[in-house]
Amino acid sequence: MAADCLFCKVAAGAIPAEIVKQGEGWVAFRDINPQAPTHILVIPREHIATLNDVPDEKAELLGRLFLAAKQIAADEGIAESGYRTVFNCNAGAGQSVFHVHIHLLGGRAMGWPPG
Ligand code: 5GP
Ligand code: ZN
């Protein structure tokens, strides 16, 4: 756990969050500032700052994060209507919390290209 990391604290239960599901090595919780009717963040329990920092050995963990997003989309009833998974990497792409997370967004029509 990185001492100054917001999402490490969420994963440890030190900061309250609306947890929707947890699994092996990951936690999913609702975004505090939702950008869609469903906006959930899926994070690894271990601290990894950005996608750039994910080593090849963590391929299985990355896969688990995406499979969690898939399952949660089904649970939320947005699997058929459609949803988006987003990894913002670094500030230029809008990353503001430097602990990797998948945004799972759905429940409304999504524009393309993203801003
Ligand atoms: P990023 O901008 O890094 O891709 O996404 C960070 C996300 O974390 C944002 O969508 C923001 O609303 C969310 N967020 C920031 N602080 C908190 C918090 O304390 N709790 C929760 N649940 N979400 C947060
Ligand atoms: Zn962290």
Least confident of 2-6, 94-98, 102-106: 2-6
Tokens coding 111: 């524009």
Burial 79-113 (b: 16+ CB within 10 A, else e): eeeebeeebbbeeeeebeebbbbbbbbbbeeeeee
Residue with tokens 């393309």: 112
Closest ligand 1 atom to residue 98 Cα is 3
Alpha carbon of 33 to ligand 1 centroid (Å)? 7
Q: For 50-70, write each residue's pLDDT tens digit.
A: 999 999 999 999 999 999 999
Ligand 1 centroid – CA 6 distance (Å): 9
Instruction: Name the one residue in this structure whose structure tokens are 């994963």.
Output: 11
Which residue's alpha carbon is at the smallest distance from atom 15 of ligand 1? 32
CB atoms within 10 A of CB 7: 23
Percentage with pLDDT > 70 across the chain: 100
Can you spell out the DSSP letters for 11-38?
A: HHTSS---EEEEETTEEEEE-SS-SSSE
Closest atom of ligand 1 to 93 CA is: 4
CB-based contact 28:42 (threshold 8 Å)? yes
Residue to probe by mutation, ligand 1, list 10, 33, 87, most atoms within 8 Å of CB: 33
* pLDDT tens column, 69-78: 999 999 999 9
Enumerate the active-site residues: 101
